[in-house]
Structure 1
Amino acid sequence: MNKAVEVKYLGIKDYKETWDYQESLFKKTLELKIRNRREEQNIPTQNYFLFVEHPHVYTLGKSGDLENLLISEKELKEKNATFYKINRGGDITYHGPGQIVGYPILDLDNFFTDIHKYLRLLEETVILTLAEYGLKSERSPGETGVWLDVGTPFARKICAMGVRASRWVTMHGFALNVNADLGFFDNIIPCGIKGKAVTSLNVELGKKEVNVEEVQEKLLKHFMELFEAEEAS
């Protein structure tokens, strides 16, 4: 089992370009797994973790409802935002500057073959990271992602999640609001959940801006520990 993970920092990158890049890594891993099985060989598969920020974009998962996008195509253009229907689970979400998006492209055969455990560990990665900033975050029963003040009228989501997996290879991932412009969430019903607020780390800390690189470092540290992985040299 190969538990080395190649970490790539993509900076600010167009959503579609990043999606295509994810797909290329995902397909490469799938093809190697199929070839290994067919030819009875055991060439190790690679694991990747992409960190990226996207320009303003709304994405709708395959089980999502288009009615959860509350603005027209014309209004999208006015806001310099794009929209894509994509092949992950979940409903609609927003990505934009000031939000850390993490895309682990892992062969779970290298770790454990349990998609629910995978999602819980991704959530735990974020929960442990936020704890370093003094925030108590948690899961909300029946709703993916990471929340604050669950079970109160002030429940608010700080991190969205949606993944895809085939033959235990994952893609897509999580989106943690760090310095996000929360006004862009007003144009959707986030994740299809009505009446729940969205927040960002800088808002919770009462700061104008939080250091994104520092948050990435903390996320990566907890991810590696939880997955018992190591960074590829």
Structure 2
Amino acid sequence: MNKTIDIQDLGHKDYKETWEYQEELFQSILATKIKNRREEAALETSNYFLFVEHPHVYTLGKSGDFSNLLLSEAQLTQKGATFYKINRGGDITYHGPGQVVGYPILDLENFFTDIHKYLRLLEEMVILTLAEYGVKSERSPGETGVWLDVGTPFARKICAMGVRASRWVTMHGFALNVNADLGYFDNIIPCGIRGKAVTTLNVELGVDKVDESDIKTKLLKHFLNLFEALPKQKSLIL
């Protein structure tokens, strides 16, 4: 089992380009697994962790409701945003500047074969990271992601999650609001959940800006610990 992770920071990158790149990595892992099964081979499968920041974009999961997007095509253009219906789980969400997005593309057979556990560990990674800033976050029963003040009238979401998995290979991932413009969330019903707010780390801390590179370092530290993984020695930085 290969427990090394190829960590790549893609910087500021178009959503569609990143989605296509994810698919390329995803399909390469699947191809290796199929080859192993058909030829009774024992080729090692790779694991990746992509960090990225997207231009303004709304994405709708495969089971999502289009009516949760509250903008027309003309209004999307006016706001400099794009829209994609994609192949992850979950409903609608927003990505944009000031948000740290992570896409783990893993062969879970290198770690464990449990999608529920996978999602809970991604949530735990975020919870532990936020705790380092003195922010107490938690899970909300029945709602994937990371929240603050669950069970109160002030419940608000700080990290959204949505994944796809096939033959235990994952793609898509999480979006943590660090310095994001919350106004863009007013144009959707986030994750299809009415009556709950969205927040960012800089708002919670009462500061203008949080160092996003520091956030990535902390997320990665907790990810590697939780998955008992190691970073690949020479990760490709695009």
- If the TM-score is normalised by the length of the shorter chain, which range does it land in? over 0.9
Counterpart in 1 of 2:226?
Answer: 226
C-alpha deviation, 1:35, in angstroms = 0.3
Counterpart in 1 of 2:50?
Answer: 50
Q: Does 1:73 align with 2:68?
A: no
Distance 1:170 1:61 in 2: 15
Q: Does 1:6 align with 2:3?
A: no
- What 5-or-longer segments of structure 2 have no aligned partner? 234-238
Q: How does 1:32-181 map to 2 (within 5 A)?
A: 32-181=32-181
C-alpha deviation, 1:33, in angstroms = 0.1
Distance 1:81 1:47 in 2: 31
C-alpha deviation, 1:73, in angstroms = 0.3
C-alpha deviation, 1:52, in angstroms = 0.2
In structure 2, what residue type is equivalent to 1:183? G
Distance 1:69 1:132 in 2: 34
- What 5-or-longer segments of structure 1 have no aligned partner? none
Residue-by-residue CA offset, 1:129-173 (whole Å, 9 max, x unaligned): 000000110000000000000000000000000000000000000
C-alpha deviation, 1:186, in angstroms = 0.1
State the secondary structure of the residue aligned to 1:36.
Answer: helix
Distance 2:161 2:126 in 1: 11
Counterpart in 1 of 2:236?
Answer: none
Q: Does 1:207 align with 2:210?
A: no
Counterpart in 2 of 1:187?
Answer: 187
Distance 1:232 1:8 in 2: 10
C-alpha deviation, 1:21, in angstroms = 0.1
C-alpha deviation, 1:226, in angstroms = 0.1
Distance 2:37 2:47 in 1: 18
State the secondary structure of the residue aligned to 2:19.
Answer: helix
C-alpha deviation, 1:192, in angstroms = 0.0
Residue-by-residue CA offset, 1:7-26 (whole Å, 9 max, x unaligned): 00000000000000000000
For the aligned residues, what is the CA RMSD? 0.2
State the secondary structure of the residue aligned to 1:209.
Answer: coil
Could you list the structure 1 runs, at least 4 aligned residues long, displaced by more than 6 angstroms after superposition: none
Counterpart in 2 of 1:198?
Answer: 198
Distance 1:72 1:133 in 2: 38
In structure 1, what residue type is equivalent to 2:147? W
Residue-by-residue CA offset, 1:24-53 (whole Å, 9 max, x unaligned): 000000010000110001010000000000
Distance 1:99 1:32 in 2: 33
State the secondary structure of the residue aligned to 2:154.
Answer: coil
Distance 1:5 1:32 in 2: 16
C-alpha deviation, 1:189, in angstroms = 0.1
Percent of aligned pairs with the same residue? 78
C-alpha deviation, 1:123, in angstroms = 0.2
Between the two proteins, the alignment pairs up a number of residues equal to: 233
State the secondary structure of the residue aligned to 1:43.
Answer: coil
Distance 2:53 2:199 in 1: 17
Distance 2:42 2:203 in 1: 48
Distance 2:125 2:145 in 1: 11
In structure 1, what residue type is equivalent to 2:27? K
